[in-house]
Structure 1
Amino acid sequence: MAANAAALEFQARRKNLLNLALKRDPILPRIKQGVSFVHDGEPPEAHSAVDESPPADSHINTISQSHMPVDESANTTKISSNKDSTTTTSSTLKIKSTTISTKSPIPAKAATSFSIPPIIPLVGVTILLLVCGAAAIFLPTFLLSLQHDDYSCLPGCWNGGTCSPQNICTCLSGYSGDRCQTTICNQTCINGVCADPYQCTCQAGWNGTYCDQPICIPQCVNGNCTGPNYCTCDVTYTGYLCLTPVCSPSCVNGYCTSPGHCTCNTGWNGTSCDQPICSPSCVNGNCTYPNVCNCSTGWTGSTCSTPICSPTCMHSSNCTAPNTCVCSSGYNGSYCQTPICTSPCQNGGNCTAPSVCTCPTTFNGSVCEFPVCRNSCLNNGNCTAPDVCTCATGWTGSTCQTGNKLHTVLSEWWYLSVCSFNCSNGGTCGPTPQTCNCTSQWSGTDCTTRKSIVFY
């Protein structure tokens, strides 16, 4: 059925009446069915009849809001058309009507008249539509679309749907709902909305058929993208993009260059770079820092290889272990302080150097074996004790200075010759003790050596 365009414009303001204009072409209908506007909280008022309508195929297409001030003293409503004809009705008509919600447009049945009471503010006004066919309301502009058909599924079937004779919308594939207003997706759009049939429009940061795949830019290198620009790293990596390897325990003096592998700084070693390197190694101690040894007790030196002897080993002896001296030749003692004399020093002498005795003043000799006589013993006398001479036979005195017997011959003193051995080969004892006076052919102490014979 061909549609004839019509528009009903209304505007309600405080202290103004409603000017309702009906626009259609080519012939102005007189409304048989009608629209009733009732203010919330006020009882409907009495009404007067409206003129008969034109042929039944006429219809009202559009009612739109306009801002047309009217004389608030008037109590009637003007209905105008494009033919400039006017029908005046009373505003006191009382109609039993149906309320239409702004949220869910529904069809409305026909009424035989309409009335418009004085409308104070539009806020809180309930709009009631009773029109032949169907009706729809779109607030806040109060645009009502009305069509006079045998069936119209008002406010219409959306997204290409068609209205059946039962006033039910038959939807195209991919749409559902009373008005085919709902798009269909096979599965819920998890992080998006179903904007087109069977297709999700994803929120920023999500992708995939059902918007369930997060997007990470740049991509996670060693992990999974579990949220928009959020990486959940493998256990062996960390960092914003999972680029940083993990070493456990951590690298103390180095860098983690791959999972579980440390590259150590110079001077360090070990799986976590916590072991210092000493080169050469510490012999008797611990390496506590690169090339730094902490020596055990009794050792010193850069590598703890030098023993400590206290007191120090004397006389160029060697300290071979803590407090252990290996003495040089001629010395002994715990620190080689004592010289060695192979023959012990006698008579109170002291060994002051290897095989060297320091004797008291009354003895001498290599081992202090000889007594000292401050006055020398004479005439072959022997010093047998400090300042004591043992005289040879025939001599006497403190230093053996006196003979045993004196003879005076012719005013001279002759010593009695004394020999403790025999003078051989005709020799005689004398003229001094222990001396032989040999013959011409013999010589020697006791005249036993024959003289050589020389022939001329």
Structure 2
Amino acid sequence: MMSVTKTRPKTILVPTGKWCGTRKCTVKQTRKQKYTIVTNQLMCCKGYVYTSGTDSCAPVCSTGCANGTCVDPDVCQCAALRYLDPNTRNKCLLPTCDHVCVNGFCSVNNTCVCNENYSSYNATHCAVNCAEGFEIDSSLNCVRKCEAPLYRHKDKCLTPTCDHLCVNGFCSVNNTCVCKNGFIAFNATHCAVNCTDQLDSNCAFKSTLDSVCDHGYKLNRGKCEPVCEPPCVNGRCVEPNVCECDKTLVKKNGRLCQDRQYGCGECRSDGTCLMTTRLVLIHTFL
């Protein structure tokens, strides 16, 4: 238990020395009156102090907790945006940046954190989140979005122009072609059907690109490859109707490669095999 002496104002009547009829006159005066209150108080552990307002024990930071809150004995938790000074115990510092943070605030590591409803535009500026169908311009204003293939130039949406065709695509800025969905770039002027996820070995460009490859070549998965008719056997087509045998193999004819053990004494210039035979003479003695 604990007793506390307090004071409170009390009004009393004080005689003035004058007579008011048969009685002396009085006036009201306010004086302080002491009184004692006996209460029950918590006993706080070391590192805590009693708080009468909440009738509880609160932690104490012996060195203070500037710009923060003492959450445990000698443990300071910094307020929002601030961080503990690594050199001074229980001192919270406000981050500083060597650049401005437009529509944001400076955080640790010299970075900007955007305010609510803003998104990062670059390292120093945050832009407001625009409604659907709008985008941010260079002045950080929300303007109506320029849908492809249009592009923004200052406050206008312009149509890009190219000095060449864009087959299966559309012209974009910097005189470049952008392929339509389902197509991939074949060269600077043509886009091909995207065969990456298709199992059909005959997947190739649409008919509009049939003339891209030279005569004797065909398109296969975005590349012009030579054609050998009939196909090479045990070899590969390296030029139109020109087969090249795999290692250890020799040409039997223009399209067929075989092991050397099957014999090809000499290969002609056209790739065919010149077979050599032995003439065996059998002498019969009578």
Provide TM-score, normalisation by structure 1: 0.17
Which protein is bigger by CA-based radius of gyration? 1
Higher relative strand content: 2
Instruction: Determine which structure has greater relative contact order: mean sequence separation of CA pairs < 8 Å that are 6+ residues apart, divided by chain length.
Output: 1
Instruction: Return the structure number with greater helix share.
Output: 2
